Amino acid sequence: MEPIIKCPDCNLTMEKGFMPDKGRGELRQARWFPGNATFGTCLKLYWFDPKGTRLITSYCCPQCGLLRSYAFLGTN
């Protein structure tokens, strides 16, 4: 069952969406990673272990545009 997220300012139901993450010529849904980011040379972000990551779902208020993002359990 989809959660109903209400805007704390307008009390309207927020619209479900996602933030894209571009890499290697493709678009994916952005993920939340536990812990600290690890950077290599030239600020290239490295991550090797997708264990414990979650897809990020974002909700937008249709009136004021407020965004709220969630990394729900079970979205890996």
Task: Report CA torsion sign: 59, 31, 52, 41.
Answer: negative
Among 19, 64, 69, 76, binds Zn ion (CB under 5 A): 64
The DSSP call for residue 12 is: P
The letter for the amino acid at 46 is Y
For position 10 contacting Zn ion by CB under 5 A, the verdict is yes
Report the residue number, 13 or 63, with the smaller CB distance to Zn ion: 63
Give the whole-angstrom CA distance, residue 58 versus residue 11: 17
Q: How far is the CB of 13 from Zn ion (least distance, A)?
A: 10
Q: Is 61 in the site for Zn ion (CB under 5 A)?
A: yes
Query: Judged by CB under 5 A, does residue 30 bind Zn ion?
Result: no
Considering the rule CB under 5 A, would residue 5 count as an interface residue with Zn ion? no
